[in-house]
Chains A and B, each alone.
Chain A
Amino acid sequence: MPETLGEGRDLIPISLVAHQAFCPRRAWLEAMGETTDTHQVAVGTEAHAPADDPTGSRSQRYRAVDVISHDLGVIGRCDTVELDESAAMTVVEHKATPVRRRPEVTEPMRVQVALLSGALADMGYPVTGQAIYFINHRTRVDVPLSEEDKAFARETVAATARTLAAEEAPPPLEDDRRCSRCSHITVCLPDERPLAPVTRRIVVADPDTQVLHLTTPGSRAYVTRGRIEVSKSGEKLGTFPIERVQGVVVHGNVDLSSGLIRELLWRSLSVVWCTSTGRVTGWARAAQGPNGGPRLLQHLASHSGRIDLARQFVSAKVANQATLLRRHGDTPLVVARLRELQREALEAPSLADLFGIEGDAAARYFESFLTMLRPRVVAAEELTFSVRTRRPARDPINAALNLCYGLLTADALRAVVACGLDPHAGFLHSSGRNKPALALDLVEEFRAPVADSVVINAFNNGEVRARDFSTVLGSTRIGERARKALIAGYERRVTGTFRHPIFGYDVTWRRAMEIQARLVLGVVDGTQPQYQGIKVR
């Protein structure tokens, strides 16, 4: 009911109404500022290039015409408006559609041209027709509108307003063909929401970009000619094309130029600063990001507590520790006990009990940690490890774990920031400790399969040797060579794929972290009935 909305209401972009006609959740995601970088979106953007170039106008054809209608409650932009001899106008909307598909006028397109021409008419111009121009087919299809079409367009505007005003996000479509054509599938996760194996295959491309680690102490990174260049004392150490960068992790004493930081944030990439031992000191995120509204709900949920989420984090962590120990170690009794603790965690009545279970499991797990290294390596390198010490690390294994946990936290931070959540409002870790609690929550289930496994493999394969570490007054520091080897091992691990235990498809560990973050987002905004941690088998 548009008339009940009142005069002071916000005008709704026509593109958003078209999305609503396609799928209400898509409209919601767009309004929440979620963006994706897919070929489809790039093609669409290029198709609309004429609409952003008013200089393409001729006497009988106007380009990029802004329209507004208070009556319809919409605002938008026509790609092209054509005039005939009597100055009557035709609205032409440009659409990119793969050539193998038929140039068909869909419901969302119909709604879109109805609103564009309605708004143009509302502004006092004589509109006589509408058309869609299919760029790839070079075909123009006229779209005559009936009164029902116009009424439906109005109705869709009202429906869009309701979607936007709702407290909760609209639920994803269930097994719907529309999803295969939707560019927002990577952030919507319609098939993953039920937490069951994904049967149909919708191809999601991984980004062709990399996380750049800056590790050389005393070096300086800046951007020049579109490349990130690193130099030390006037000598160039290397360059990297900025379009290939997915995020930057700074280890220890490396200077970033202000121009580089601005360029990264401008591209919505994040930077994480760590100490050379792997402690995360801070991060930078772009001012623009999605899901401002759900972020508020996250704080409310964090404040009131969500023991269900906390249980899953701990249970998955203990389960993964048990699995790693079973694979590499030789202590079946400890594994059996960890399995019991994993089940207990799912029924823990309070956070205090959870911490008890987590601590108990960690103590048993780390006691047996050394059995996961090859006895030959342990003997040759004179490795010792009995208890996990963070600061200071007392032995090479602890120092290596510290570094990898830092890298893992950096990735979890990026995943949390990518879906617009606040790293500080967590569910297991207390936000009162002034730590990035939600990022640390997410880290838990990835500790064993990602970080611990990298450390074990690095020592077992001889990529990292005891002589790469130096121990002074009981605290162990990593040398340059070992740090680079561990970072390389870590990057190989997180960019490598594994079979997802819940969904059954192959994903990279890095993408899995973002999926977990988005499941938390779903729990927060009401579209995800329950959260489930990743438990590798």
Chain B
Amino acid sequence: MSLDDVRRYLIAYDISDDVRRTNVAKKLESYGDRVQYSVFIVDTCPAKLLRLRTQLIDLIDQGTDSILFCNLGTLRDNQSRTLDVIGRSRTITDHGPAIL
């Protein structure tokens, strides 16, 4: 996996309806990691991001809900930057060997 193709996104949402919010949260959990209640970190290539966006559009009510995508750059850029957390932090699935 080339670090240049994969980009890191911070995705946050503002959704009032419980059902829609749960569905969006579930969808995001299958792509990346929850770092706060409504904030996710998703590492993904462009094709998959497009698919995620399309799926999210189907889940939300575009009149009332909003989902924010913040592009944090490629994984290579992110090697030199850190996500700094005060207090309790949650783990982000990294790109090393996946052994459970």
Contacts and interface: CB of A to CB of B under 8 A. Distances in A.
Interface of A: 37-43, 46, 49, 205-216, 219, 221, 225-228, 230, 237-238, 240-245, 484, 487-488, 490-492, 495, 508
- Would you call the interface of chain B mostly helix, strand, loop, or mixed? mixed
A486 B50 CA distance: 36
B5 interface: yes
B96 to A, nearest CB: 7
B45 A208 contact: yes
B51 A42 contact: yes
The listed residue with most A CB atoms (<10 A of its CB), out of B6, B45, B96, B100, is: B100
Interface string B1-35: 11001100000000000000000011101111100
Interface in B37-60: 43-48, 50-51, 54
Contacts of B6: 208
Given A49-B54, A238-B100, A209 B1 contact: yes
A205 B100 contact: no
Query: Which range holds the interface residue count of chain B?
Result: 20 to 34
Contact of A227 (B29, B43, B44, B51): B29
Given A43-B50, A205-B5, A208-B48, A488 B31 contact: no
The listed residue with most B CB atoms (<10 A of its CB), out of A37, A39, A244, is: A244
29 contacts: A37-B48, A40-B47, A42-B47, A42-B50, A205-B2, A205-B5, A207-B45, A208-B1, A208-B44, A208-B45, A210-B95, A211-B98, A212-B100, A213-B97, A213-B99, A225-B29, A226-B27, A226-B29, A227-B29, A243-B30, A243-B31, A244-B32, A488-B99, A491-B96, A491-B97, A491-B98, A492-B96, A492-B97, A508-B1
A225 B43 CA distance: 18
Nearest to B30: A226
Contacts of B71: none
The listed residue with most A CB atoms (<10 A of its CB), out of B30, B93, B97, is: B97
Contacts of A211: 98
Contacts of B33: 241
Contact of A215 (B43, B44, B99): B99
A230 B99 CA distance: 11
Going nearest first, the 4 A-B pairs with the smallest beta carbon separation are A226-B30, A491-B97, A42-B47, A39-B46
Contacts of B93: 240-241, 244
Contacts of A227: 29-30
B33 to A, nearest CB: 7
Contacts of B100: 212-216, 219, 221, 228, 230, 237-238, 240
Contacts, number: 102
Contacts of A243: 30-31, 44, 48
Contacts of B25: 225
Contacts of A245: 98
Contacts of A42: 46-48, 50-51
B40 to A, nearest CB: 10
A202 to B, nearest CB: 14
A42 B33 CA distance: 23
B1 A207 contact: yes
Contact of B2 (A206, A221, A490): A206
B47 A37 contact: yes
A448 to B, nearest CB: 21
B32 A226 contact: no
A492 B94 CA distance: 13
A491 B100 CA distance: 13
B1 A212 contact: no
The listed residue with most B CB atoms (<10 A of its CB), out of A37, A42, A205, A208, is: A208
Contacts of A208: 1, 5-6, 43-45, 48
Contacts of B2: 205-206
Contacts of B47: 37-42
Nearest to B40: A241
B15 to A, nearest CB: 16
Nearest to B28: A226
B10 to A, nearest CB: 15
Given A207-B45, A210-B1, 19 more contacts: A37-B47, A49-B54, A208-B43, A210-B97, A212-B100, A213-B98, A215-B99, A219-B100, A221-B100, A226-B27, A226-B30, A226-B31, A227-B30, A240-B98, A241-B29, A241-B31, A241-B33, A488-B97, A491-B98
A39 B54 CA distance: 13
A241 B25 CA distance: 12
Contacts of B95: 210
A372 to B, nearest CB: 23
A508 B100 CA distance: 23
